[in-house]
Amino acid sequence: MKKLSIAISFLLLFFTNSSLSNSLDGAISNPDRTPEYMERDKYRHPKETLNFFGIEPTMSVIELWQSRGWYSEILLPFLASQGTFMAADFDPNYAAWTPKAIKRNAENRAKSKILSDMKMITLYIDDKPLYEADSVDMVLTFRNLHNWLKAGLLMDVFNKSYKVLKPRGVFGVVEHRALPGTSIDDMKKSGYVTEKLAIEYAEKAGFILIAKSEINANPKDGTIHPKGVWTLPPSLRLGEEDKDKYLNIGESDRMTLKFIKPE
């Protein structure tokens, strides 16, 4: 009887994991995704990244500053039937360029076959909370830390993320990775942030680092470029100048960090 029980438990675990994998595979291969977004999967490794963070289809998830909605096009359908997904857009007062970014994001959502009915909240730069305290399972941010660091808001964003998460909730971070010892001034200019600084800020907010991954590492990226990280694709700020060189490098070298909010 004990062996039968163990066998049944194993089978249930197998089919649960298989179902989760198939569900995520389906969201990633969804033909309604924006075609140019799908072309970047080879750089951004969405399946491996989201599995590393431990996402499940029953979770409530907030994505901070979803921009054009690259990850949102995967997260929304993955969570649609059993979970909850919310995207936190820019505060219009964040910077001079944010009203244009908000308009652009709204236009992209309207054109997207997936994102037209996405639930939006706002990450304000004042004392307003991100969302209800202790209410969500996961907060994710992709390639945003340098913006908040430059504006002096990185600690505030980490604190607000901590407050909305349930105990044992996950804070997942992907960010352009600066070389160790890079100065804060150079981080602000280049768009690359050191792992050390990201971890220090997160731990100061109360998070515990439980895992790192090299899923989004790119050893071709030396991180020192004329226009910072924006020299590389997809931005290619230098236009045709050395374009083949930067296309060959690909997208930036990135850290992938998994934190939890302790009990």
> According to the model, what pLDDT value does residue 21 have?
47
What pLDDT, on a 0 to 100 scale, did the predictor assign at position 201? Answer: 98
Distance CA 211, CA 259 (A): 7
Q: Is residue 38 exposed (0-12), middle (13-18) or buried (19+ Cβ within 10 Å)?
A: middle
Give the CATH number of domain 2-260; options: 3.40.50.150, 2.40.50.100, 3.30.1360.70, 3.50.50.60. 3.40.50.150
- Per the CB < 8 A criterion, the answer to whether 130 and 123 are in contact is yes
pLDDT value at residue 7: 46
Torsions phi, psi of 148, nearest 5? -70, -35
Quote the DSSP letter at residue 68.
T
- Model confidence pLDDT, tens digit, residues 250-263: 999 999 999 999 99
pLDDT value of residue 116: 87
Residues 232, 256: Cα–Cα separation, whole Å: 19
Angle among Cα 255, 261, 263 to the nearest 5 degrees reads 150
Closest-CA residue to 176 (of 200, 203, 157, 149): 149
Residue 19 pLDDT greater than 60, yes or no: no
For residue 22, what pLDDT is reported?
A: 63
What average pLDDT does this structure show over 176-181? 98
- Confidence (pLDDT) at 123: 97
Residues 63 and 204: their CA atoms lie apart, in Å, by 21
Residue 130 DSSP code: S
DSSP state letter for 143: S
> Please, which residues bridge with residue 259 across strands?
171, 209
DSSP letter (8 states) at residue 228: G
Q: State both tokens at 203.
A: 């731990």
| pLDDT above 70 as % of the chain | 92
On the question of pLDDT at 189 being above 70, the answer is yes
Would strands 254-260 and 208-213 be described as parallel, antiparallel, or unpaired?
A: antiparallel
pLDDT digit string, tens, across residues 72-125: 999 999 999 999 999 999 999 999 999 999 999 999 999 999 998 899 999 999
